[in-house]
């Protein structure tokens, strides 16, 4: 099975690192994986986008077109990509940052991701890892164990603890929401 994931927001949110962490976790789960990101005129400030494909067979075409899982962390990203989600796909939005959600064929899950991160760690910079916690709990892409390991190995030296806290907070928020629904 091939699953396409797109993480989008603005530069500085660390979404590319999030993509790498997710891909690395999937790799350690034994999946085939491709991670890529947008460069382009957006590179200088502005929008940011990371994509991951997780599959059980070798991945031939490595581009994401209609993501199964979509993370939206800015209004701009929302406007641009909400429509790209595949039918019934998982769309996760940072409800603390996003004011309105355009039409999408995916199922929308709202979490105040950045707020969750700030609450858990005091640092908005860990929102990317909190988002991973949310996303993986909702969409079940990789094993929680692998995700934890990947976070520890990929985040900057000395920030593992903070980030693991964010991850836990994200997971907890998603689980709580699941319980509620």
Partner 1 sequence: MPGHNGRDLRLLQGNECCAEAAILAGCRFFAGYPITPSTEIAELLSEKLPQVGGKFIQMEDEIASMAAVIGASLTGAKSMTATSGPGFSLKQENIGFASFTEVPCVIVNVQRTGPSTGLPTAPAQADLMQARWGTHGDHPIVALYPSTVPEVFDLTIKAFNIAEQLRVPVILLMDEVVGHMREKVAIPHQSEIEIVSRPQPDVPPEEYLPYAAGPDGVPPMAPFGTGYRWHVTGLYHDETGFPTTAAPKVDRLMKRLYSKIESAADEITFTSDEFLDDADTVVVACGITARSARRSVRLAREKGIRAGMVQLKTIWPFPYDLVGDIAGRVDRIIVPEMNMGQLIGEVERAAKGRCEVVGYSRVDGEPIAPAEIVAKIEEV
Partner 2 sequence: MAVPIDDYLRTQFMPHIWCPGCGHGIILGAVLRAIGRLDLPKDEVCIVSGIGCASRAPGYLDFNTVHTTHGRALAFATGIKIARPDLHVIVLTGDGDAAAIGGNHLIHAARRNVGLTTVMFNNSIYGMTNGQYSPMTPRGRYASTAPYGNVERNFDMCELVRAAGGNYVARATTAHARQLSNYVENAIQTPGFAFVEAVTQCPTYFGRRNKMGTPVDMIEWFRKNSINAAAAAKLDPADLDGKIIIGEFYRGDAPEYTEVYDEVIERAKEAAAR
Which CB, 46 or 122, lies closer to partner 2? 46
Which CB, 39 or 179, lies closer to partner 1? 39
User: Is residue 40 close enough to count as binding partner 2 by CB under 8 A?
Assistant: no
Size of the site for partner 1 (CB under 8 A): 21
- Per-residue interface string for the shown chain with partner 1, residues 11-40, x marking contact by CB under 8 A: ---------x--xx--xx---xxxxxx-xx
Size of the site for partner 2 (CB under 8 A): 3
Find where tokens 């660390």 sit. Answer: 14
Binding site for partner 1 (CB under 8 A): 20, 23-24, 27-28, 32-37, 39-41, 43, 59-63, 65
Q: Binding residues for partner 2, per CB under 8 A?
A: 41, 44-45
């Amino acid at each position: 099975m091939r699953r396409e994931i797109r993480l989008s927001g603005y530069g500085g949110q660390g979404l590319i690192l999030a993509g790498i962490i997710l891909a690395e976790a999937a790799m350690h789960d034994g999946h085939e994986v491709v991670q890529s990101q947008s460069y382009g005129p957006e590179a200088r400030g502005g929008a940011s986008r990371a994509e991951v494909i997780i599959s059980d067979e070798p991945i031939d075409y490595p581009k994401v077109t209609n993501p199964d899982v979509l993370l939206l962390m800015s209004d701009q990203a929302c406007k641009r990509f909400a429509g790209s989600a595949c039918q019934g796909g998982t769309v996760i939005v940072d409800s603390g940052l996003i004011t309105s959600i355009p039409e999408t064929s995916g199922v929308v899950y709202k979490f105040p991701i950045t707020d969750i991160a700030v609450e858990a760690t005091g640092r908005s910079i860990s929102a990317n890892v909190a988002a991973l916690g949310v996303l993986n709990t909702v969409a079940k892409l990789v094993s929680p164990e692998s995700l934890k390991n990947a976070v520890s190995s990929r985040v900057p030296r000395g920030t593992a603890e903070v980030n693991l806290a964010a991850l836990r907070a994200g997971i907890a928020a998603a689980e709580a929401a699941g319980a509620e629904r």
